[in-house]
Protein backbone atom coordinates (compact mmCIF):
# COMPACT_ATOMS: atom_id res chain seq x y z
CA UNK A 1 0.00 0.00 0.00
CA UNK A 2 1.31 3.39 -0.90
CA UNK A 3 1.38 6.44 1.31
CA UNK A 4 -1.45 8.13 -0.60
CA UNK A 5 -3.75 5.10 -0.07
CA UNK A 6 -3.18 5.22 3.70
CA UNK A 7 -3.86 8.97 3.69
CA UNK A 8 -7.10 8.45 1.72
CA UNK A 9 -8.35 5.79 4.15
CA UNK A 10 -7.61 7.97 7.19
CA UNK A 11 -9.26 11.00 5.54
CA UNK A 12 -12.45 9.12 4.58
CA UNK A 13 -12.67 7.56 8.07
CA UNK A 14 -12.20 10.95 9.77
CA UNK A 15 -14.83 12.66 7.60
CA UNK A 16 -17.25 9.79 8.33
CA UNK A 17 -16.76 10.09 12.10
CA UNK A 18 -17.24 13.88 12.09
CA UNK A 19 -20.32 13.63 9.84
CA UNK A 20 -21.90 10.92 11.99
CA UNK A 21 -21.29 13.01 15.15
CA UNK A 22 -23.19 16.00 13.74
CA UNK A 23 -25.99 13.85 12.33
CA UNK A 24 -26.51 12.13 15.71
CA UNK A 25 -26.45 15.52 17.49
CA UNK A 26 -29.14 16.81 15.13
CA UNK A 27 -31.36 13.75 15.61
CA UNK A 28 -31.02 13.26 19.39
CA UNK A 29 -30.42 16.84 20.51
CA UNK A 30 -28.66 18.07 23.59
CA UNK A 31 -29.03 15.66 26.55
CA UNK A 32 -29.02 18.57 29.02
CA UNK A 33 -32.20 19.98 27.46
CA UNK A 34 -34.09 16.66 27.51
CA UNK A 35 -37.38 16.76 29.42
CA UNK A 36 -39.86 14.10 30.40
CA UNK A 37 -43.46 14.34 31.46
CA UNK A 38 -45.23 12.09 33.97
CA UNK A 39 -48.90 11.54 34.57
CA UNK A 40 -50.18 11.28 38.11
CA UNK A 41 -52.33 8.47 39.44
CA UNK A 42 -56.08 9.01 39.41
CA UNK A 43 -56.53 7.15 42.68
CA UNK A 44 -53.81 6.32 45.19
CA UNK A 45 -52.96 2.67 45.73
CA UNK A 46 -54.29 1.38 49.03
CA UNK A 47 -53.12 -1.55 51.12
CA UNK A 48 -56.67 -2.83 51.71
CA UNK A 49 -57.46 -6.31 50.43
CA UNK A 50 -60.77 -6.89 48.72
CA UNK A 51 -62.65 -10.15 48.43
CA UNK A 52 -62.28 -11.59 44.93
CA UNK A 53 -65.32 -11.91 42.71
CA UNK A 54 -67.33 -15.08 43.36
CA UNK A 55 -67.95 -15.43 39.63
CA UNK A 56 -64.25 -16.03 39.02
CA UNK A 57 -63.07 -17.64 42.26
CA UNK A 58 -65.68 -20.14 43.38
CA UNK A 59 -65.61 -23.70 44.64
CA UNK A 60 -67.62 -25.04 41.68
CA UNK A 61 -65.29 -23.58 39.04
CA UNK A 62 -63.76 -25.80 36.37
CA UNK A 63 -60.32 -27.02 37.32
CA UNK A 64 -58.18 -27.31 34.15
CA UNK A 65 -55.88 -29.87 35.78
CA UNK A 66 -58.68 -32.44 36.12
CA UNK A 67 -59.67 -34.62 33.19
CA UNK A 68 -63.11 -33.87 31.78
CA UNK A 69 -65.25 -36.73 30.53
CA UNK A 70 -67.98 -36.01 28.02
CA UNK A 71 -70.93 -38.37 28.11
CA UNK A 72 -72.66 -40.38 30.84
CA UNK A 73 -69.51 -41.18 32.79
CA UNK A 74 -69.26 -39.46 36.13
CA UNK A 75 -66.19 -39.22 38.32
CA UNK A 76 -67.95 -39.96 41.63
CA UNK A 77 -64.90 -39.86 43.87
CA UNK A 78 -63.56 -36.67 42.18
CA UNK A 79 -60.02 -37.98 41.84
CA UNK A 80 -59.79 -37.07 38.14
CA UNK A 81 -59.55 -40.67 36.96
CA UNK A 82 -62.40 -42.96 35.98
CA UNK A 83 -61.92 -46.14 37.99
CA UNK A 84 -63.13 -49.54 36.79
CA UNK A 85 -66.31 -49.30 38.86
CA UNK A 86 -67.13 -45.90 37.32
CA UNK A 87 -66.44 -47.18 33.81
CA UNK A 88 -68.70 -50.19 34.43
CA UNK A 89 -71.44 -47.90 35.81
CA UNK A 90 -71.46 -45.75 32.68
CA UNK A 91 -71.32 -48.73 30.31
CA UNK A 92 -67.88 -48.23 28.80
CA UNK A 93 -66.47 -51.38 30.38
CA UNK A 94 -68.05 -54.83 30.77
CA UNK A 95 -67.95 -56.39 34.20
CA UNK A 96 -66.87 -59.68 32.65
CA UNK A 97 -63.75 -58.15 31.10
CA UNK A 98 -62.41 -56.83 34.39
CA UNK A 99 -59.35 -58.77 35.59
CA UNK A 100 -59.24 -59.23 39.34
CA UNK A 101 -56.47 -60.49 41.59
CA UNK A 102 -58.77 -62.88 43.49
CA UNK A 103 -58.39 -66.63 43.30
CA UNK A 104 -61.18 -69.24 43.46
CA UNK A 105 -61.54 -68.88 47.25
CA UNK A 106 -62.25 -65.15 47.01
CA UNK A 107 -58.93 -64.31 48.59
CA UNK A 108 -56.32 -62.10 47.05
CA UNK A 109 -53.83 -64.29 45.29
CA UNK A 110 -50.29 -63.89 44.11
CA UNK A 111 -49.33 -63.94 40.47
CA UNK A 112 -46.93 -66.79 41.18
CA UNK A 113 -48.35 -70.31 41.44
CA UNK A 114 -46.83 -72.78 43.81
CA UNK A 115 -45.81 -76.32 42.88
CA UNK A 116 -48.79 -77.74 44.80
CA UNK A 117 -51.27 -75.79 42.64
CA UNK A 118 -49.64 -77.04 39.44
CA UNK A 119 -49.89 -80.71 40.46
CA UNK A 120 -53.66 -80.54 41.03
- pLDDT tens for 45-57 read 888 888 877 777 7
Q: What share of the chain is helix, strand, coil (3-state, %, to 5)?
A: 35, 0, 60
DSSP 8-state class, residue 113: P
Beta bridge partners of 69: none
**Close Cβ partners of 108 (under 8 Å, ≥ 6 residues apart):** 101, 102
Residue 114 confidence (pLDDT): 46
For 108, list phi and psi in degrees, rounded to 5: -70, 130
What's the mean pLDDT when you consider all of the chain?
76
If you write DSSP's letter for every residue of 23-63 in order, what string do you get?
HHHHHH--GGG-----PPPSS-------PPPTTTS-TTS--
Among 5-14, 24-33, 85-94, top mean pLDDT goes to: 5-14
Is the distance from CB of 98 to CB of 117 less than 8 angstroms?
A: no
Beta bridge partners of 102: 108
Amino acid sequence: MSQSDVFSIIFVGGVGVVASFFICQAIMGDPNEATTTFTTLRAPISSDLTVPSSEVFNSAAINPTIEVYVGDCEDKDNNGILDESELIACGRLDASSVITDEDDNGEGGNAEESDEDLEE
